[in-house]
Amino acid sequence: MSDETTFIPRPYAAAEIEAEMGPAAPFDAAERAAVYRAIYTRRDVRNEFLPDDVPQELLMRILDAAHHAPSVGFMQPWNFVVIRDAAVRGAVHEAFLRGMSTEEQMLAPERRGHYRNLKLEGILKAPVNICVTCDRRRHGETGLGRTQQPNTDLLSTACAVQNLWLAARVEGVGVGWVSILQESDLRSILGIPEEIAVVAYLCVGFVERAYRKPELEVKRWASRLPLETLVFADQWGRACTFTKPP
């Protein structure tokens, strides 16, 4: 039996669809400011988590925001493995330490000490970890929007991660993305089937303080690229003239 899910659209009338349309007015000034504040103050939290538990109701509110992310063809390919168990988080942490040791050896010798001081994860400190996955079989091989760009399911799942992160920020909950993990380790520890793609491993918990700028920028690891170097006009590489945002 195939694990793929096939959806057969039901007939609908134009009037039925029209009834579902609503206004698309812009947000007012206060609402806009709140949205942009969430975006500009979102941070990748590594070592600032508080031990306080994240209530289930709050966590589900954040996950529901993630579940309302855009997805190509409305495929909704994501799943969320919520990890509270200390032993499971401990096993993931051991896998992280192995990955960190490997990554450190790939760096130039003069950067290794700086790398060790970054404290790149909060697996044990954050009371909740979430592994975000992508079920690439959910709508079969020819899901709407995947025939020409087959990775749109993975990209859609990344949108869910962003929604989760912004909703968490609004709730005063910090999120840290741990990428120094072998996918095979996560499969083994969390029982994730081979056909399911691992997209993100997140540490989630309350924070009391956050950096005003990204931590890696504060700690001189990297800096934000100028927007004008990233926006092109009509053709790749053609400079775009525009007014910088405030």
What average pLDDT score do residues 69-93 get?
A: 96
Any residues with CB less than 8 A from the CB of 223 and at least 6 apart, and which? 217
Rg of the chain in Å (alpha carbons) = 21
Q: What pLDDT, on a 0 to 100 scale, did the predictor assign at position 123?
A: 94
Q: What percentage of the chain reaches a pLDDT higher than 70?
A: 87
Q: What pLDDT, on a 0 to 100 scale, did the predictor assign at position 110?
A: 62
- In this structure, is the dihedral angle defined by the CA atoms of residues 189, 190, 191 and 193, taken in order, positive or negative? negative
Instruction: Identify whether 203 is part of a domain.
Output: yes
Q: What pLDDT, on a 0 to 100 scale, did the predictor assign at position 104?
A: 61
What average pLDDT score do residues 156-169 get?
A: 98
Instruction: Identify whether 51 is part of a domain.
Output: yes
What average pLDDT score do residues 192-220 get?
A: 92
- 97 in helix, strand or coil? helix
What average pLDDT score do residues 124-145 get?
A: 87
Q: What is the CATH number of the domain that holds 197?
A: 3.40.109.10
Joined tokens for residue 166: 């912004």
Instruction: Identify whether 4 is part of a domain.
Output: no
Instruction: Identify whether 80 is part of a domain.
Output: yes
Question: Does residue 34 contact residue 165 with C-beta atoms inside 8 Å?
Answer: no
Burial class (CB in 10 A: 0-12, 13-18, 19+), 226: exposed
Instruction: Identify whether 27 is part of a domain.
Output: no
What average pLDDT score do residues 124-128 get?
A: 96
Instruction: Identify whether 39 is part of a domain.
Output: no
Instruction: Identify whether 113 is part of a domain.
Output: yes
Assess whether pLDDT exceeds 90 at residue 19. no
Reported as type and span, the H/E element at residue 170 is helix 152-170
Any residues with CB less than 8 A from the CB of 214 and at least 6 apart, and which? 43, 44, 224
pLDDT tier at 220, thresholds 50, 70, 90: confident
C-alpha distances out from residue 110 to 114, 118, 180, Å = 8, 14, 20
Instruction: Identify whether 237 is part of a domain.
Output: no
Residue 144 lies in domain: 44-210
How many structural domains does the chain have?
1
Assess whether pLDDT exceeds 50 at residue 203. yes
